[in-house]
Amino acid sequence: MEPYYQDDLVTLYHGDCREVSAWLEAEVLITDPPYGRGWRQGEVKSTGSTKGHARNVASMTGIANDTDTAARDAALTAWGDDRPAVVFGDLMLPPPASTRLVCVYRKPVDAGLRGAMNGIRRDCEAIYLMGKGWRSGIGGRSSLFVSAASLVGSPNGVVAKAGGHPHTKPQDVMQELLMQTVGVIADPFSGSGSTLVAAKAMGRCAIGVEVDERYCEMAARRLAQETLFGGVA
């Protein structure tokens, strides 16, 4: 398969990671897969215009392969337990097999407004450290990962807007996770490319796969922009 995007550090393929095998050649897995919760964006009140209605329909579009954890589990099975993996997930679901440590990603300040219960936001996600290759010891940094980014005036906020995907992760969090690993990075659920962009900014090689072409295009634009300006947008 020809890459959808390629440069000196990053290769991105458009396709289903269960059918594209190039990412399995990497040394560490860092990915934000479909969580299996059937996520859909809540409907925003219509402006009353046809154009506004079209925007509302688009905003409710779900995430590919998110009806269950089959895609995630197939990718983790293909990856195996002998290499390290960093995998985002939903704290409402059990951790995948071979999880060694459950960390928490705390979203920026205004995240998780929709679906809040009793005034408590849904603003945390799991980060599973899985497989082999992790150093054991005493002490270290907190297992809570927090972004310096802030969300202002929108449930989607600047983080999602910058990445173009409803579950975009901030670059500082992704770079902090990448710093815990060494070697070529695999991201079989690349989305709009946050892992790939963070890897490239750090001079790391990465191989990504994304099933949805609209997000492949977003990732390619972000990676090309990083090359053009020599930094992460």
pLDDT, tens digit, for every residue of 102-159? 999 998 877 767 778 898 888 899 999 999 999 888 889 999 999 886 544 444 444 5
pTM of the model: 0.83
What distance in Å separates the CA atoms of residue 120 and residue 112, rounded to the nearest whole number?
A: 9
Total domain count for the chain? 1
**167-190 per-position pLDDT tens digit:** 789 999 999 999 999 999 999 999
Give the other-Cβ count within 10 Å of 212's Cβ: 18
**By residue range, what is the domain housing residue 203?**
5-229
- The answer to whether 37 and 90 have CB atoms below 8 angstroms apart is yes
- CATH classification at residue 20: 3.40.50.150
**191-204 per-position pLDDT tens digit:** 999 999 999 999 99
